[in-house]
Amino acid sequence: MRHRHGEFHRLSRIGWLRAAVLGANDGIVSTASLLVGVASAARAEPGDIMIAGVAGLVAGAMSMAAGEYVSVRSQADSEEAELAMESRELQDDPDGEHRELAEIYVRRGLDRELAQRVATELMAHDALEAHARDELGLSVTLAARPLQAAAASAISFASGAILPIIAAGLSSRSLVTPITIGVSLLALGILGAISARMAGAPIGRSVARVLFWGALAMGITAGVGRLFGVAA
């Protein structure tokens, strides 16, 4: 019996995983920081805290989606422009493009005769795809997908932001700050571990990184809220 050689690669996850992790992390940190900052003000009422949290969730999700879409759309536009230019060059000078592709394979270690044959075969199959992949470094797996990235960012931000809001809503006024911080740090630690596991990165380092920056952001915001609350 023949045994199929199966390989598992994580590159197909890069686009949506980056957007989802960034969105969830920002949702937790920014919303928790906002809640803690408002709660640290001496005169803040529970209703004020919840309004701030919900407003932060909606504004943050929309901001993340818009920013991610614009960013990835710009990347997609650049990729499309490069492909259009390459397509024109293939029509205007196919022999020159063949030599260029063959030289790429020579630099990668093939002898010149074999490189010529490989370039001929690949260009006969799909010339633009061969040049996009081997000359420009573009591939279907890593292609920019603006709508996918925007949706992932908005959904993940809202999913992350809802956790500190729930924690604050279920806490008494005197315990809003410590409970919100505790729940948020726990969620950040879990998120860091999951993202590291999916990406094949060291879990401990990823968890420590998100906990440090999350705690720093919430601590600074709490200090600012308390300072301005007393001054007001």
Whether 156 is covered by a domain: the verdict is yes
Residues 6+ apart with CB under 8 A from 114: 105
Whether 173 is covered by a domain: the verdict is yes
Whether 75 is covered by a domain: the verdict is yes
| Number of neighbours of residue 121 by Cβ within 10 angstroms | 10
The total number of structural domains that make up the chain: 1
Candidate from 16-30, 38-52, 127-141 with smallest mean pLDDT: 127-141
Whether 91 is covered by a domain: the verdict is yes
| Number of neighbours of residue 127 by Cβ within 10 angstroms | 19
Q: What angle do CA 32, 161, 214 make, to 5 degrees?
A: 40
The region, left, alpha or beta by phi > 0 then psi within -120 to 50, assigned to residue 110 is beta
| Number of neighbours of residue 145 by Cβ within 10 angstroms | 17
Give yes or no for residue 230 having a pLDDT over 70.
no
What is the percent of the chain with per-residue pLDDT over 90, rounded to a whole number?
21
Confidence of residue 70 (pLDDT cuts 50, 70, 90): confident
Neighbour-count burial of 2, counting CB atoms closer than 10 A to its CB (0-12 exposed, 13-18 middle, 19+ buried): exposed
Whether 206 is covered by a domain: the verdict is yes
Given this model, what pLDDT does residue 3 score?
A: 47
Whether 107 is covered by a domain: the verdict is yes
Given this model, what pLDDT does residue 58 score?
A: 93
Helix and strand numbers, DSSP H then E, in the chain? 7, 0
Q: How far apart are CA 25 and CA 212, in angstroms?
A: 12
What does the mean pLDDT of the chain come to? 80
**189-211 per-residue burial string, b: 16 or more CB within 10 A, e: under 16:** bebbeebbeeeeeeeeebbeebb
Confidence of residue 141 (pLDDT cuts 50, 70, 90): low
Whether 1 is covered by a domain: the verdict is no
Domain of residue 157: give its range.
14-231
Residues 6+ apart with CB under 8 A from 91: none
Confidence of residue 122 (pLDDT cuts 50, 70, 90): confident
CA distances (Å), origin 88, targets 84, 100, 105, 123, 134: 6, 15, 22, 15, 17
Neighbour-count burial of 161, counting CB atoms closer than 10 A to its CB (0-12 exposed, 13-18 middle, 19+ buried): buried
Whether 4 is covered by a domain: the verdict is no
Q: What is the CA radius of gyration of the chain?
A: 25
Given this model, what pLDDT does residue 27 score?
A: 92
